[in-house]
Amino acid sequence: MVNNTALMVASEQSVSEHFDGGCPREANTSHHNYLRKEGIYVWTPSMQAMILGSYFYGYTATQVSGGRLAEKWGGKWVCGIGILGSAIATFLVPMSADYFIVIIGAFHGLVYSSVYNIFMKWVPQNERSTAIAFMMAAGHFGGFVVSPFTGFLCDNSFMGGWPAAFYILAIIACVWSALWFIFVTDLPENHPRISKAELMLIKSGTNQQTKPEPLKWSKILKSTAVWAVVFAKTTAAFGYYLISNELPLYLESVLNVNITENGFSNALVYLVVSISMFSTGKLAGYINSKQILSLTNVRKIFQALAAIGPMVCLLLVPLSGCNKQSIVALIVASMFFFGFCGGGELLIVTEFAPAYSGTIFGFANCFGSITGILAPLFVGILLDENVHDRHNWNLVFYVSAALYAVGALVFVVFATAKPTKWGSNKCATDKCEVKTDKHRVIDLQSLDRKVETLK
Any idea what the CATH number is for the domain that residue 64 is in?
1.20.1250.20
Q: What is the pLDDT of residue 363?
A: 93
For residue 177, tell me if it sits in a domain: yes
* Mean per-residue pLDDT over the chain, rounded: 80
Which of 124-144 are b and which e, b meaning 16 or more Cβ less than 10 Å from the residue's Cβ? ebebbbbbbbbbbbeebbebb
- Distance between CA atoms of 227 and 233, rounded to whole angstroms? 10
For residue 129, tell me if it sits in a domain: yes
More confident residue, 334 or 162: 334
Which of 83-102 are b and which e, b meaning 16 or more Cβ less than 10 Å from the residue's Cβ? bbbbbbbbbbbbeebeebbb
For residue 374, tell me if it sits in a domain: yes
For residue 193, tell me if it sits in a domain: no
| Residue 207 pLDDT level (bands cut at 50, 70, 90) | low
- Distance between CA atoms of 81 and 207, rounded to whole angstroms? 26
Region 267-279 average pLDDT: 91
For residue 221, tell me if it sits in a domain: yes
Q: Per-residue pLDDT for 275 more than 90?
A: yes
Which of 204-227 are b and which e, b meaning 16 or more Cβ less than 10 Å from the residue's Cβ? bbbbbbeeeeebeeeebeebebbb
Neighbouring residues of 217: CB distance < 8 A, sequence distance ≥ 6: none
| Residue 10 pLDDT level (bands cut at 50, 70, 90) | very low
Overall number of domains in the chain:
1
pLDDT tens profile 95-115:
776 678 889 999 999 998 898
Q: What is the pLDDT of residue 153?
A: 73
- Distance between CA atoms of 302 and 319, rounded to whole angstroms? 27
Region 137-157 average pLDDT: 77
Parent domain of 116: 41-187+216-425
Q: Per-residue pLDDT for 125 more than 50?
A: yes
- Distance between CA atoms of 439 and 17, rounded to whole angstroms? 76
For residue 356, tell me if it sits in a domain: yes
- Indicate the residue type of 82: G
| Residue 202 pLDDT level (bands cut at 50, 70, 90) | confident
Pairing of strands 29-32, 12-15: antiparallel
Distances (CA, A) of 244 to 52, 61, 375, 376, 426: 11, 21, 10, 10, 40
| Residue 330 pLDDT level (bands cut at 50, 70, 90) | very high
Q: Per-residue pLDDT for 431 more than 50?
A: no
For residue 366, tell me if it sits in a domain: yes
For residue 8, tell me if it sits in a domain: no
pTM for the model stands at: 0.78
Which is nearest to 397 in space by CA: 455, 299, 310, 332? 310
